[in-house]
């Protein structure tokens, strides 16, 4: 029995395979093998369709399932690549750049908006005619900021290239009354004049935050945990706290 296919049969096989749309090289190869096995059993495995039909079917269905698996794998690969591309695009989100450097701005739904900007007074508050010691604090007029944010706000800051934004800003909550907001910075004993040192108080009010660089000099600031409701907050530059006046950026939560 002649097991070699004639030229006409080979052409018919390739025409049938070529007409199958949406296939790649692997799938085309499997289709060709299937067609060859269907018309011409492999020598040594099956001698003819009549006397070894089961062997032919085994090989044929192996190729069929290989083609099916290949098709599923390709679909999964396309899906995974699509998901990867989506994640990359989300990660590479184009954040807007603030108009001015070193000024944190509120970021929401693709837009930037300004925080309340004020020049805070850096004062020493005397307690009990001096016998109760003194307290350094920065304060601004107004009990509440007109800028209100959610419990998980996002901010953006633009700084000079190579500058660490964490060295420029401190994020704190504030004490507030009807007509004033204040942030205690340090407490001094009544015996400070005799060499007693002051005790920092600012750490008690600090708010944890995370910073992520999104482009050169531009950083996204997010809070480490939800902000307290009905609280007033401030960004300030810790390097400026020895000055009599300090520019601060304020906001509050409802």
Dihedral sign from CA coordinates of 128, 134, 140, 142: negative
81 pLDDT more than 90: no
Residue 76: pLDDT band with limits 50, 70, 90:
low
10 pLDDT more than 60: no
210 pLDDT more than 70: yes
Q: What is the pLDDT of residue 241?
A: 82
Closest of 236, 235, 237, 244 to residue 122, by C-alpha? 244
Closest of 160, 51, 171 to residue 102, by C-alpha? 160
pLDDT averaged over the chain?
76
Question: Which pLDDT tens digit goes with each residue over 221-251?
Answer: 999 999 999 999 999 998 888 889 999 999 9
Could you give the C-alpha distances from 155 to 152, 183, 217, in angstroms and in order? 10, 21, 14
59 pLDDT more than 80: no
- CA-derived radius of gyration, the chain: 37
What share of the chain in percent tops pLDDT 70? 57
CB 31 within 8 A of CB 20: yes
Residue 186: pLDDT band with limits 50, 70, 90:
confident
Domain residue spans of the chain: 7-91, 105-253
More reliable by pLDDT, 189 or 154: 154
> How far is the C-alpha of 20 from the C-alpha of 31, rounded, in Å?
9
Count each helix (H run) and each strand (E run) in the chain, helices first: 3, 13
- Tell the burial category of 254 from Cβ atoms under 10 Å away from its Cβ (0-12, 13-18, 19+): exposed
Under 8 Å CB-to-CB from 76, ≥6 apart: which residues? none
């Amino acid at each position: 029995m002649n097991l070699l296919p004639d030229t006409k049969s080979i052409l018919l096989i390739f025409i049938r395979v070529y007409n199958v749309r949406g296939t790649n090289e692997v799938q085309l190869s499997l289709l060709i093998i299937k067609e060859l096995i269907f018309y011409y059993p492999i020598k040594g495995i099956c001698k003819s369709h009549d006397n070894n039909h089961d062997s032919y079917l085994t090989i044929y269905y192996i190729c069929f399932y290989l083609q099916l698996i290949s098709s599923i794998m390709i679909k999964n690969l396309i899906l995974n690549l699509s998901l990867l591309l989506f994640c990359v695009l989300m990660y590479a989100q184009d954040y807007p750049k603030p108009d001015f450097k070193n000024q944190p701005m509120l970021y929401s739904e693709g837009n930037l908006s300004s925080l309340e900007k004020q020049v805070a007074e850096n004062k020493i508050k005397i307690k009990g005619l001096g016998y109760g010691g003194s307290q350094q604090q920065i304060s601004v007029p107004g009990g509440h900021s007109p800028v209100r944010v959610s419990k998980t706000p996002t901010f953006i800051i633009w700084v000079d290239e190579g500058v660490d934004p964490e060295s420029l800003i401190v994020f704190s909550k504030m004490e507030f009354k009807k007509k004033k907001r204040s942030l205690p910075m340090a407490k001094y004993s009544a015996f400070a004049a005799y060499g007693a040192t002051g005790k920092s108080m600012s750490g008690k009010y600090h708010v944890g935050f995370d910073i992520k660089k999104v482009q050169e000099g531009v950083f996204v600031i997010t809070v480490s945990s939800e902000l307290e409701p009905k609280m007033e907050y401030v960004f300030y530059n810790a390097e400026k706290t020895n000055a009599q006046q300090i520019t601060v950026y304020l906001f509050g939560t409802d």
